[in-house]
Structure 1
Amino acid sequence: MIIKIDVTNQKIAEEVLSVQLASYKVEAELIDCYDIPPLRDTVSTLQRCGETFYGYYVDGELGGVISVKIEGDIIDIHRLMVHPKHFRKGIAKRLLDFIESHGEGDETLIVSTGSKNTPAISFYKKSGFVKMGEVKVKEGLSITSFEKKRKRNYR
C-alpha cells in the first residue's frame, strides 16, 4: 500500500531514514563512493528538506519511499529507495508508477543517480526515461540525469 507520509513526524522520519541509509549503503557499494549526500542525512535534515514523501508499506512496515518536488510542470524525483530486504519485489516500480499516475497534465519527470549504479540506470531506462547528461561531481563520482516526458489522457 502506498500512502503520503509526513516526515515532519519524528517516528516517520526515523523510519524513512532507516530505509534510506540501508538503501543508499548498497548504492555506495555499487558506485564505490561512500561520501554521498543521502548517507549524511539525519532525521532533522529529512524533516527540513521540503520534499513530498510517499511510503510503500509491506505488512505494516515501511519497505520503500519516493520523494518529489514539483515546480510547474516538472516532477523532480529526489529519492527512490527500497530497503534491501525488499529488493526485487517490484516496490520501486510501484512507487514510480504511483507518481506518474498522479500527475495533473503534461509533465516532465526528472531523476538522477550515480553513473556507476547500473541497476538504477537500467531501471530508469526500462521505465521510459531518457539519459540527458552526466556530471562529474568529484574524482570517481559522476551523476547521470534522466527525464521522461508524459502526456495525460484528458477525458
Structure 2
Amino acid sequence: MNVLFLCTGNSCRSILAEATFNALAPEGWRAISAGSQPAGYVHPKSLALLEREGIATDGLASKSWDGLPVTPDLVITVCASAAGETCPVYLSPAPRAHWGVADPARATGTEAEIEAAFETAYRTLRHRIEALLALPRDLAEKDLAKFKAECERIGTLVPESTRTA
C-alpha cells in the first residue's frame, strides 16, 4: 500500500504525515508526500518536532507531485479547505480522502503558540494515521467503497488532547 499525503507547499503537514506514517506502518506500507506548488524546503519546526518524537527525518524534502516514484494506492489531502485554503486536485484512479489540518506554518503569536500549532497538527495527523493503520489490511481489496468511507471518516477524527472546550 502506497499512500500519498498531498498538500500545496509540502513543507509541514504532508511531511509530518509522511514521516509519521512511515515510522508506524507495517512492512509493505509506505507513504510519500508531495505538493502541487512545493515550497522547496521542509519547515525547520516540522523537522524539530519529528526529531523530538524520535521519528527519522533523513531524506525528507519538499517535492512536486510531478514524477512521483510510485503510483499511490490512496491519496490523502491535508490542506485546511475550511480555512479558505485550496486543496490540490490529484488526478489518479486511487481512492481519495480529505484530512483537513490547519497549516502550522501560518500560525502567528508567541513562540509557544506557534509551537502549539505544530504540535496540534502533528497529534491530529498521528491520531488519524493510527486509525488508518488499525483498519483491516485487506479492506481496500475486499470492499473499496467501505475503505474509502472509512478513510473519509478518519479525516474527521480529532485526538482528545487537541479538543477545545
Using structure 2 for the length normalisation, give the TM-score: 0.29
Structure number having the greater helix percentage: 2
Greater RCO (CA < 8 Å, at least 6 residues apart): 2
Using structure 1 for the length normalisation, give the TM-score: 0.30
